[in-house]
Amino acid sequence: MSSSAPTPVDPATGLVVAIDGPSGSGKSSTSRGVADRLGLRYLDTGAMFRGMTWWMLREGVDVRDPEAVAGRASEPDIVSGTDPLAPSITVDGVDVGVAIRGDDVTGAVSPVSAVPEVRTRLLELQRATIAEAVRDARGIVVEGRDIGSVVAPDAPVKVYLTADAAARAVRRAAEEGGSDVAATQESLLARDKIDSGRATAPLMMADGAVHIDTTPYSLDEVIGLVVALVEAVEARA
């Protein structure tokens, strides 16, 4: 399956905000907050990769075998809800919003995400969701690891969030209900290495992206910084 071209975006008629960064940098909370504040839709592309991984595990596919994963990447029906206050994801009609955050999926999502056929399949779905939001709504905030560089390179607003490893580990451990911070930090750094080193769509800061180190800021402050970037772009449109 060949991926469709990204939809050209005119910020006067349809707004795309691309937010990238490593795990624990605050992408999800920031993206939902920005979308809610500006009346935009929201897409969590990481949840789509987790949904694909959940399906592979359910079907007994060896997630460490790229050929096995590639051979079945076209099969699952993955649907993402775009309400920032109640984001959802279903796979073959099953609500997997909780299941995809389990340890089994977390441990398997990196090798599945690195398979080019998986990325191509989900890229089609991601661009279709963006095109719908640009056509039918005010626009959309899209979060992930390759949004500004691959999924929506024409996005009028591109943001790359980072935070120091210790801060990211504390945040992620809290999200996971008090996980061991040191172990969480080790896991995050291992994920960074995989994401940044993969051949297809590696984690990187896109050309034209604004880098925000979220370490010293509260969530509300980070949301405010991104909203200010959006408003500046809209003022120039």
Q: What is the pLDDT of residue 95?
A: 98
Per-residue pLDDT band for 195 (boundaries 50, 70, 90) equals low
- Cβ 10 vs Cβ 234: under 8 Å: no
**Over 60: is that where the pLDDT of 46 sits?**
yes
Q: Over 90: is that where the pLDDT of 189 sits?
A: no
pLDDT of residue 157: 96
Average pLDDT over residues 194-212: 76
Angle 96-90-127 from CA coordinates, rounded to 5°: 125
Is the confidence at residue 210, as pLDDT, over 90? yes
The closest alpha carbon to 113, from 26, 206, 196, 17, belongs to 196
Supply the pLDDT for residue 175: 67
| pLDDT mean across residues, the chain | 87
The SS3 of residue 89 is strand
Which of residues 187 and 152 earns the better pLDDT score?
A: 152
Please check the confidence at residue 176 and state whether its pLDDT lies above 70. no
pLDDT per residue over 51-72, tens digit each? 999 999 999 999 999 999 999 9
Q: How confident is the model at residue 26 (pLDDT cuts 50, 70, 90)?
A: confident
Q: What is the pLDDT of residue 196?
A: 66
Q: For residue 136, what pLDDT band results from cuts at 50, 70 and 90? A: confident
- Position 222 pLDDT exceeds 70: yes
Say what the pTM is. Answer: 0.84
Cβ-count burial of 141 within 10 angstroms (0-12 exposed, 13-18 middle, 19+ buried)?
A: buried
Q: What is the pLDDT of residues 89-117, one digit of tens each?
A: 999 999 999 999 998 998 999 899 999 99
Residue 122 near residue 48, CB atoms below 8 Å: yes
Separation CA 46–CA 112 (nearest Å): 12
Which domains, ranges and CATH numbers included, belong to the chain? 15-236 (3.40.50.300)
